[in-house]
Amino acid sequence: MTIRHTPLRIGLTGGIGSGKSTVSQMLQDRGAAVMDADAISLSLTAPHGAAMATIARTFGAAFVNADGALNREHMRAHVFSQPKAKKTLEAIIHPLVAQETERQAQAALHAGYRTLVFDIPLLVEAGTRWRTQVDRILVIDCLVETQIQRVMARSGLSAEAVQKIIAAQSTRPNKLAAADWVIFNDGIPIETLREAVAQLPI
């Protein structure tokens, strides 16, 4: 790894099914500290997670499973049909994710990491917020048709359900316009992807 006096902060993003999580692991294998926003969000809505009391007060007991975790299917259906509910949920979750992300970043710096990767699925959707906090934005890109096939294969969702998820995310052109670095992860072997990650100047 290149010796730096200040840490390199990379914002990693890509649409669902792009292979972003695979690249995240490869960056970690190269010695980067990874702050995973999805993993943090899941922990907040796990049984008795930090967001659950507020979610229960705001949305009601029907949105909480018997084990104290978020009823994800019920919430997913609710926010798809009620755009205001989505904003309400984000207002609960996002500040907590930001706090935990920063806590993990500070711990990584204290431990001596020189490359910090912020794995943020909705980085582009957040507007200028992340642009001011990272040095480089890395976008993992692939064709929309490939996204649909990958997500259907791994999750069992229908093509229509996957298309709705993709439609709720920023478009490919918007993601690419925000990128400093792009890896096109479509129709390539895993080793070719690994080589592309290995060539990043971190």
Residue 145: give its domain's CATH number. 3.40.50.300
28-33 mean pLDDT: 96
pTM listed for this prediction: 0.85
Rounded-to-integer distance, Cα 35 and Cα 52, Å: 21
Q: What's residue 2's pLDDT?
A: 47
* pLDDT over threshold 80, residue 7: yes
pLDDT > 70 in the chain, percent:
98
Q: Which long-range contacts (CB under 8 A, 24 or more apart) does 81-86 make?
A: 85/59
Domain count, the chain: 1
Question: Is residue 14 included in any domain, yes or no?
Answer: yes
Q: What would the pLDDT profile of 47-106 be if each residue is shown by its tens digit? A: 989 999 999 999 999 999 999 999 998 998 898 888 899 889 989 999 999 899 999 999
Indicate whether 176 belongs to any domain. yes
Mean of pLDDT values over 27-36: 96
Strand 8-14: give its sheet, edge to edge.
Answer: 33-36, 115-119, 8-14, 136-141, 181-184
Q: Which structural domain range is residue 179 located in? A: 8-32+113-198
What contacts 109, CB < 8 A, 6 or more positions away? 7, 116
- 172 domain-assigned: yes
Would you say residue 1 has pLDDT above 70?
no
Q: What's the mean per-residue pLDDT of the chain?
A: 92
Classify residue 158: in a domain, yes or no.
yes
Residue 177 in domain = yes
Q: Residue 202: what pLDDT?
A: 86
Q: pLDDT class for 5, splitting at 50, 70, 90?
A: low
Task: Give residue for tokens 């796990």.
Answer: 46
- Is the residue at 194 inside a domain? yes
Which whole number is the average pLDDT over 1-8?
Answer: 65
Instruction: Give alpha helix (H) positions in 30-180.
Output: 37-44, 52-59, 72-81, 83-110, 144-155, 159-168, 172-178
Q: Is residue 21 part of a domain?
A: yes
Mean pLDDT of 131-144: 93
Q: Tell me, what's the pLDDT at 104?
A: 96
